[in-house]
Amino acid sequence: MVQFMQILGIWIGAFLTFSIFSFLYKDNPFYKLAEQVFVGLSAGYWLIYIIYYVIMPNLVSKLIEDFSANAILIIPALLGLMMLLRLIPKAQWVSRFPLAVVIGTSAGISLMRYMQSDLLNQVSATMINPLAAESLPDIIGSFLLIIGTICGIYFFYFSRKKEGIYALPSKAGIWFLMISFGASFGYTVMARVSLLIGRLEFILKDWLHLIN
Amino acid sequence: MKRTLPMILTFLVGMIVILSEFIPHFPFSKINSTLESWYLIISGFAMLLGLISLVRVNSSKVASKEENWQYYLAGLISLFTMVIFGLLWGMQETAGLLGHGESIQNWLGKKPFDYLFDNAYLHLSATMFSLLAFFIASAAYRAFIIRSFESNLLMISAIIVILGRTSFGTMLTSWLPQRLYFLQMSYMTDFIMKYPNTAAQRAIMISAALGIFGSSLRIIIGIERSYLGSDK
Amino acid sequence: MSSKANLVERRIIFGLLFIVVTMPLIFPIGWKTEVSPHVQMAYDLVENSPQGSIAIISFDYDPSTATELQPMAYAMIEHAFSKNQKIIAVALWPQGAQMADEAFGQILAKFPDKSYGTDYVNLGYKTGGMVTIQAMGRDIKSVFPADVKGTSIQDIAMLKTFNNLKNAAYIVSLSAGDPGIKQWIMAGHDMFGVSVTGGTTAVSAPGFLPYINQQNQLYGLLGGLKAAAEYEALINVIGSATVKMDAQSVAHILIIILVVIGNIKAYKIRRKKALAAQGD
């Protein structure tokens, strides 16, 4: 029976795979069904995970094990329930309090983390000695790194109109951005094709047994 | 008060988090770690909001028999099936309300929740994303046309990277002598990624960090209030 | 061009791509792959970490991106186990815990002497992203009171002296988005000074390269399926990524051919319009 259910499972997977692929020809009932089933399963999955991996271990289990020591957890539990009042229009204002805690915490964390990692560290990483590189291409590359970073940042400065000679670094910034977007496109192609390869591997290996 | 108190709370919470970065001692460290654990619990409830909204929207579409209501019904049935399976028999090592469901596992091979996950959800999710491969091929055919200098830069860079990130690309220029190593496809690809791409991405990163710095500060000191919604 | 002709063109492109990716999977070509510097960096971090050290591998992805990231997980776990390093698996994405179980299940066949609780442990998923990592940096036991099987963390042998992130030799984040490797860099490295490396899907890899710098915010990066194949080559394994690279390469060649054909077609249309305008 187990083996039958395993094979049935693979056939269900293959059916759903081709239902989604059928969209490439045109929109059809199989695709629409598969799409909505995906939405439903995804939402159900998230709910169960939140219950077993977030609410239970961080709140319910701790309160059950030692209520007096963890009584303070009543506060985030209440704040969480207040968050759900967002669904009732007349009581929506109550959800502002838990939102304030969440937004305040994440704003404070973002401010510090992005300032250190994405601003200060990145600026200091650009302050390199380009002539210290080992080979001529690397020396040219190091100059490109410094010039490209400065011109790119300059491109994003919109507080003043750039005319005449002031527009040149902005233009250079655009060139660097275009090269970067081209590289990103190349990597995106790789990523998307990899996803397709994964699906075809399931069809050819697990379903049709054409490859090992 | 309905707006002022939450704003004050945002300010206090944000300032505690910032201060604890510079004063990592008691009481700021204790308050900060408490806030962090509360954040986890509250964000768990926040996810429930989205799910409840989804059920409400889909239910109203089914009740009012809108176009394609049958598919929304299928979505709701899938959702409730997944939830019921998960609540009753749990998932993987976690027990549900009725334990681990050993008798069901004997004929299904695994828990019902895990069976649905492995044989339905996993395939749907992967296939949805794999559709993008076809669309990107179509986009490359239509959109990558020689037009201006900037679009040419984009195209040339993309072609070098697309070829360079394959085994075939390396073979294409393997015949070049060692002194022309910088013209090898793999070297050119690595050069583009390491220097001009890094420069541009760093510029985007620094600019975005300045933006995040500004918007986080505006939220904390109360200039940015859009998260509070309107009073209507 | 008429919309019907456009539709036919689209379907031809889709069909071609389908065939071109399928054929090398059935009839492998066997092209070799060269190792890039960023993959070498990631390899060196694992290679040079001492025996018995504990690494954290964070499975921050779901099955939809497993084609690119799961081979990286296999390769890095195999590499760490071959160096007698211990692994703590965590996940910032819900399905990551299951990806971790699958990866360990696959690799343990080659290392039958490795046991759960002594050589590796799966602590499971925790929501919160950056907040969770920061909390792990202070006290991991408060974040993960038990592992994914429900065993109390106090009862797990390899975690007896492991208190926070600073006890880790390095962190690997296999990441498909947010939260993921960015949060590990910001908190794991920039706050707590632990070396961070990892793998991402190819689509997000270019955005993380600025973190590979003199400050070593990121110690190498595996970007996409090719990088996974390169790592497999470094550990002398013909793994799932190497096998799929032929199909990847052929698909890329098709994309280049489509770009060329698209440009030829656009040139002909422009020339036709120019001649028509001259005729007028």
Residue of A66, A193, A204 to mutate, interface with C, max C Cβ within 10 Å: A193
Within 8 A of B168 by CB-CB distance, chain C residues are 31, 249-250, 252-253
Asked if A53 lies within 8 A of C124 by C-beta distance, the reply is yes
Instruction: Identify which of C115, A53, C104 has the alpha carbon closest to the alpha carbon of residue B94.
Output: A53
Asked if A107 lies within 8 A of B216 by C-beta distance, the reply is yes
Residue B93 has pLDDT above 80, yes or no: no
Residue C47 has pLDDT above 70, yes or no: yes
pLDDT in tens, C135-161: 899 889 888 888 888 888 989 999 999
Asked if B10 lies within 8 A of A107 by C-beta distance, the reply is yes
Residue B84 C-alpha, separation from nearest chain A C-alpha, in angstroms: 9
Task: Return the top range by mean pLDDT from B21-30, B177-186, B211-220.
Answer: B211-220
Q: Considering Cα of B177, then B181, then B182, then B186, what sign does the dihedral take?
A: positive
Task: Give the pLDDT of residue A158.
Answer: 83
DSSP string for C199-238 = EE-TTTHHHHGGGSSTT-SS---EEHHHHHHHHHHHTT--
Residue B232 has pLDDT above 60, yes or no: no
* Domain with A147 in it: 129-212
CATH topology of domain C37-237: Rossmann fold (3.40.50)
Least CB-CB distance to A195: which of B45, B119, B130?
Answer: B130
| Structure confidence at residue B95 as a pLDDT band (50, 70, 90) | confident
| Structure confidence at residue B176 as a pLDDT band (50, 70, 90) | confident
In terms of Cβ atoms closer than 10 Å to its own Cβ (0-12, 13-18, 19+), residue B67 is exposed
Least CB-CB distance to C64: which of B126, B137, B146?
Answer: B126
Least CB-CB distance to A54: which of C21, C26, C127?
Answer: C127
Q: What is the mean pLDDT of residues C39-67?
A: 93
Is A42 in CB contact (< 8 Å) with chain C?
A: no
| Structure confidence at residue B231 as a pLDDT band (50, 70, 90) | low
| Residues with Cβ within 8 Å of residue C139, at least 6 apart in sequence | C163, C164
Residue B132's Cβ-side half-sphere holds a number of Cα atoms within 13 Å equal to: 18
Task: Give the pLDDT of residue B92.
Answer: 76
Domains: count for chain A: 1
Task: Give the pLDDT of residue A152.
Answer: 94
| Structure confidence at residue B205 as a pLDDT band (50, 70, 90) | very high
Asked if C142 lies within 8 A of B145 by C-beta distance, the reply is no
Residue C264 has pLDDT above 80, yes or no: yes
Within 8 A of B129 by CB-CB distance, chain A residues are 195
Residues of chain C with pLDDT > 70: what percent?
99
| Structure confidence at residue C185 as a pLDDT band (50, 70, 90) | very high
- Tell me the ipTM for this assembly: 0.83
Asked if B199 lies within 8 A of A152 by C-beta distance, the reply is yes
Q: What is the mean pLDDT of residues C104-112?
A: 93
Task: Give the pLDDT of residue C14.
Answer: 93
Asked if A96 lies within 8 A of B219 by C-beta distance, the reply is no
Q: What is the mean pLDDT of residues B142-162?
A: 89
pLDDT in tens, A139-184: 999 999 999 999 999 999 887 788 888 889 999 999 999 999 999 9
pLDDT in tens, B59-73: 999 999 888 899 999
DSSP string for chain A = -HHHHHHHHHHHHHHHHHHHHGGGT---HHHHHHHHHHHHHHHHHHHHHIIIIIIIIIIIHHHHH-TTTTGGGHHHHHHHHHHHGGGSGGGGGGGHHHHHHHHHHHHHHHHHHHIIIIIIHHHHHH---GGGSSSHHHHHHHHHHHHHHHHHHHHT--SS---GGGGHHHHHHHHHHHHHHHHHHHHHHHHHHHHHHHHHHIIIIIIS----
Least CB-CB distance to C31: which of B129, B144, B168?
Answer: B168
Kindly state the helix (H) or strand (E) to which residue C169 belongs, with its residue range. none
What is the three-class DSSP state of C96? helix
Within 8 A of C224 by CB-CB distance, chain A residues are 187, 190-191, 194
Residue C280 C-alpha, separation from nearest chain A C-alpha, in angstroms: 37
Residue C78 has pLDDT above 90, yes or no: yes
- B201, C209 contact by CB (below 8 A): yes
Residue C70 has pLDDT above 90, yes or no: yes
Q: What is the mean pLDDT of residues C217-233?
A: 94
| Structure confidence at residue B207 as a pLDDT band (50, 70, 90) | very high
Residue B212 C-alpha, separation from nearest chain C C-alpha, in angstroms: 14
Q: What is the mean pLDDT of residues B215-227?
A: 89
Residue of A197, A203, A206 to mutate, interface with C, max C Cβ within 10 Å: A197
| Structure confidence at residue B134 as a pLDDT band (50, 70, 90) | very high
Is residue A169 situated within a structural domain?
yes
| Residues with Cβ within 8 Å of residue A126, at least 6 apart in sequence | A145, A146, A149, A150, B202
Q: Considering Cα of B200, then B204, then B206, then B207, what sign does the dihedral take?
A: positive
Cα–Cα distances (Å) from A49 to A132, B35, B45, C57, C96, in that order, read 52, 22, 12, 20, 12
Neighbouring chains of B at 3+ CB pairs under 8 Å are: A, C
Q: What is the mean pLDDT of residues C201-215?
A: 91
Residue B172 C-alpha, separation from nearest chain A C-alpha, in angstroms: 17
- Structure-block tokens of residue A120: 């200060």
Least CB-CB distance to A113: which of C67, C187, C210?
Answer: C187
Residue B7 sits at the vertex; the CA angle it makes with B3 and B10, to the nearest 5 degrees, is 145
**How far separated are the first and last CA of chain A, in Å rounded?**
25
Least CB-CB distance to A5: which of B21, B109, B203?
Answer: B109
Is residue A158 situated within a structural domain?
yes
Q: What is the mean pLDDT of residues B211-222?
A: 91
Is B46 in CB contact (< 8 Å) with chain A?
A: yes
Average pLDDT, chain C: 91
Q: Directed axis angle between helix A2-21 and helix A29-49, to 10°?
A: 120
C-alpha span between B9 and B7 (Å, rounded):
5
Residue C150 sits at the vertex; the CA angle it makes with C147 and C155, to the nearest 5 degrees, is 70
Is residue A181 situated within a structural domain?
yes
Asked if B39 lies within 8 A of A125 by C-beta distance, the reply is no
The type of residue at A180 is S
- Structure-block tokens of residue C156: 């797990």
Residue B229 has pLDDT above 80, yes or no: no
Instruction: Identify which of C217, C129, A118, A112 has the alpha carbon closest to the alpha carbon of residue B22.
Output: A112
Spans in chain A with pLDDT lower than 70: none
Residue C1 has pLDDT above 60, yes or no: no
pLDDT in tens, B99-132: 888 888 888 888 999 999 989 998 998 899 889 8
Asked if C224 lies within 8 A of A54 by C-beta distance, the reply is no
Kindly state the helix (H) or strand (E) to which residue B182 belongs, with its residue range. none
pTM of this prediction?
0.85
Task: Give the pLDDT of residue C236.
Answer: 92
pLDDT in tens, B25-49: 878 878 887 887 788 788 888 888 8
Is A54 in CB contact (< 8 Å) with chain C?
A: yes
Task: Give the pLDDT of residue A23.
Answer: 93
